[in-house]
Amino acid sequence: MTPSDVKATLSFSDGSPSIDLPLYKGSIGPDVIDIRKLYGQTGKFTYDPGFLSTASCQSTITYIDGDKGELLYRGYPIEQLATQCDFLDTCYLLLYGELPNEQKQKDFHKLVSEHTMVHEQMQFFLRGFRRDAHPMAVLTGLVGALSAFYHDSTDINNPTHRNIAAIRLIAKMPTLVAMAYKYGEGQPYVYPRNKLSYAGNFMRMMFATPCEDYEPNEVLVRAMDRIFILHADHEQNASTSTVRLCGSSGTNPFAAIAAGVACLWGPAHGGANEAALNMLEDIQRNGGIEKIGEFIKQVKDKNSSVKLMGFGHRVYKNYDPRAKLMRETCYEVLGALGLENDPLFKLAMALEKIALEDEYFVARKLYPNVDFYSGIVQRAIGIPVSLFTAIFALARTVGWIAQLNEMIGDPEYKIGRPRQLFVGSERRDVPPLHQR
Ligand code: CMC
């Protein structure tokens, strides 16, 4: 962190002495005011529910300019990574800070592919779930359970353990997600095939059966790889902050990532792609394009809790750059499958057009986010809606683990312990039962 010459002065209208607070400059983005000594000097906390103005850490991994609609991984624009690199290059970049050269790329691909199988016992653990369990419920359990299977990579303070855990998580997530899917379908698990690409292997584990192998379709494999790249990291979002907070207690990496999976499940975060597609299907069932006006009216009604899922973002107040790339992929995939006239896609395009022109959305800077399109792409590929968030978790695992490792290596890292403004009852005595 680079200290700034400027200081912030905090003064109080009740005559309490004012204090100077140091400022730090980032390489890009807003400066931060260092309030760490605020409580010691004034006896006061700051109040910022939802972290609207609070930087919880320093980071070198991902940068978002929400007003410009820019997303950089380690300085590289997402548009260049999505078109010139594959997901494993992106993983290497996020984990180690630089893109791999040819040799490092080869070594990294080999290393990841050597860890794709999961302990055979995992399938018996999986069998404890109901067949109709939501894949995110299953995945939260499976990822947490990895700490019971891989004891030699659970010490978060040991850099070798952290690196092996990172590789294991990246390598095994596709296997676990595919197992969760096959289990729900009542089909046998398909073991990984290491000579395939990361995305190709995942699709084979999803769609092959013992009686019929999966023939990879290059357009669909590339689309899946792009979904992974676009979801790989997104700085200090809710699930990443959860992983950091969870890991700050010194818990093992598998447990911290399981916490991230659980957080991602919510419809305001990773569950939005599932919610967006369910919303489109609902509108389609209730009259389709004709009924969009009515639906938008409900969205704008302050007394209804209906939201346009796949629209809006805490940070992007411009078009989400991932949405632009996903929109492109959407056209490519639907074209390759001959689904350009898919009614759900047409409905989505009509909804997007109306929302982009409607004063309610314009005034609030609500643009489509990545989830608006990724659901349509995944559905076209043949992935069931209930698996969308699990695929997001698969892709985000590298971001979570890179952020967790960065935190552990940061000399300023401490156990996360937010404070509170207490507004409950003051001290009182427990009345006897007959007086309550
Ligand atoms: N539909 C209708 N109104 C909306 C929407 C929406 N999708 N999003 C925000 N608004 C309104 C909101 O009601 C509020 O209006 P008002 O000022 O009149 O009270 C205003 O816009 C500001 O909203 P906010 O809730 O303060 O915004 P936020 O930054 O706290 O919330 C969000 C961001 C993503 C939770 C929210 O936009 C949302 O719920 N969107 C739908 C779910 C979704 O698509 N989430 C995926 C996010 S991208 C994936 C990821 O990175 O995890």
* 3-class secondary-structure state, position 71: strand
311 forms beta bridges with 368
Contact 221, 145 (CB under 8 A): no
Atom of ligand 1 at shortest range from CA of 370: 48
For residue 233, name the pLDDT band (cuts at 50, 70, 90). very high
- Of residues 246, 269, 257, the one with CA closest to residue 402: 257
| Comparison of pLDDT for 174 and 161, the residue scoring more | 174
Q: Which residues are tagged catalytic?
A: 313, 371
Atom of ligand 1 at shortest range from CA of 320: 48
DSSP 109: H
Q: At 205, phi and psi to the nearest 5?
A: -65, -30
* 3-class secondary-structure state, position 19: strand
For residue 253, name the pLDDT band (cuts at 50, 70, 90). very high
Q: What is the mean pLDDT of residues 261-289?
A: 89
Worst-scoring range by mean pLDDT, 68-82, 118-132, 308-322?
308-322
Pocket, ligand 1, Cβ cutoff 6 A:
234, 237, 268-270, 272, 299, 307-314, 364, 366, 369, 371
For residue 363, name the pLDDT band (cuts at 50, 70, 90). very high
Q: How many CA atoms lie within 13 A of 309 on its CB side?
A: 23
Which of 369, 376, 388 most suits a substitution to test ligand 1, by most atoms within 8 Å of the C-beta? 369
Distance 313 CA to ligand 1 centre (A): 6
Going by alpha carbons, the residue nearest to atom 40 of ligand 1 is 312
Contact 252, 259 (CB under 8 A): no
What pLDDT is stored for residue 305 in this prediction? Answer: 87
Does residue 314 surpass a pLDDT of 90? no
What pLDDT is stored for residue 1 in this prediction? Answer: 80
Q: Average model confidence (pLDDT) for the chain?
A: 94
- CB contact set of 418 (below 8 Å; sequence gap of 6+): none
Residues in the chain: 436
Going by alpha carbons, the residue nearest to atom 31 of ligand 1 is 314
Q: How many CA atoms lie within 13 A of 333 on its CB side?
A: 26
Distance 105 CA to ligand 1 centre (A): 39
Distance 311 CA to ligand 1 centre (A): 7
For residue 274, name the pLDDT band (cuts at 50, 70, 90). confident
Distance 319 CA to ligand 1 centre (A): 14
